[in-house]
Amino acid sequence: MEGITFFSGLWFCLVAVLIAGYFILDGFDLGAGVLYPFIAKTKTEKAVIRRSIGPVWDGNEVWLLTAGGALFAAFPPAYATTFSGFYLAIMLVLFGLIVRAVSLEYRVHDEKWGGLWNLLFFLGSLLPALLFGVAIGNVYAGIPMSALGDYTGFPLFGLITPFTLLCGVLGLLMFMAAGASWIAQKAPKPSELQERAAKIRTILQICTLGVFVIVTVYALFGINLEMLGGLAAILRYLFAALFVVALIAAIFFGKKGNDLFSFIAQSASAFVLVGLFAASMFPNLVIASANSVGQNITIMNAANSELTLMWMTIITCVGLPLVLLYHVISYRTFRGRLTDEDLDY
**CA atoms of 35 and 221, how far apart (whole Å):** 33
- Residue 316 lies near another protein (rule: CB under 8 A): yes
- Residue 56 lies near another protein (rule: CB under 8 A): yes
Minimum Å gap between C-beta 116 and another protein is 9
Is the Cβ of residue 35 or residue 73 nearer to another protein in the bound state?
73
Is the Cβ of residue 221 or residue 345 nearer to another protein in the bound state?
345
Q: Which helix (H) or strand (E) holds 297?
A: strand 297-298
Binding residue for another protein, selected from 188, 244, 334, 337, defined by CB under 8 A:
334
The one-character DSSP state at 223 is S
Q: Which string of x and - marks every residue 35-54 that binds another protein (by CB under 8 A)? A: ----------------x--x
Rounded to a whole number of angstroms, the CA Rg of the chain reads 20
Binding residue for another protein, selected from 1, 13, 55, 115, defined by CB under 8 A:
55
Residue at 94: amino acid letter:
L
**CA atoms of 285 and 13, how far apart (whole Å):** 11
342, burial (CB in 10 Å: exposed 0-12, middle 13-18, buried 19+): middle
Q: Which stretch binds another protein (CB under 8 A): 30-38, 193-201, 203-211, 329-337?
A: 329-337
Residue at 68: amino acid letter:
G
Binding residues for another protein, total number by CB under 8 A: 72
Minimum Å gap between C-beta 96 and another protein is 10
**CA atoms of 302 and 82, how far apart (whole Å):** 13
Minimum Å gap between C-beta 200 and another protein is 26
Near another protein in 63-122, by CB under 8 A: 64-66, 68-77, 79-85, 87-88, 90-91, 94-95, 97-99, 101-102, 105-106, 109-110, 113
Could you count the other beta carbons within 10 Å of the beta carbon of residue 50? 24
54 in helix, strand or coil? coil
**CA atoms of 225 and 311, how far apart (whole Å):** 33
Near another protein in 157-216, by CB under 8 A: none
Is the Cβ of residue 290 or residue 317 nearer to another protein in the bound state?
317
**CA atoms of 26 and 17, how far apart (whole Å):** 14
- Residue 301 lies near another protein (rule: CB under 8 A): no
Binding residue for another protein, selected from 37, 59, 114, 188, defined by CB under 8 A:
59
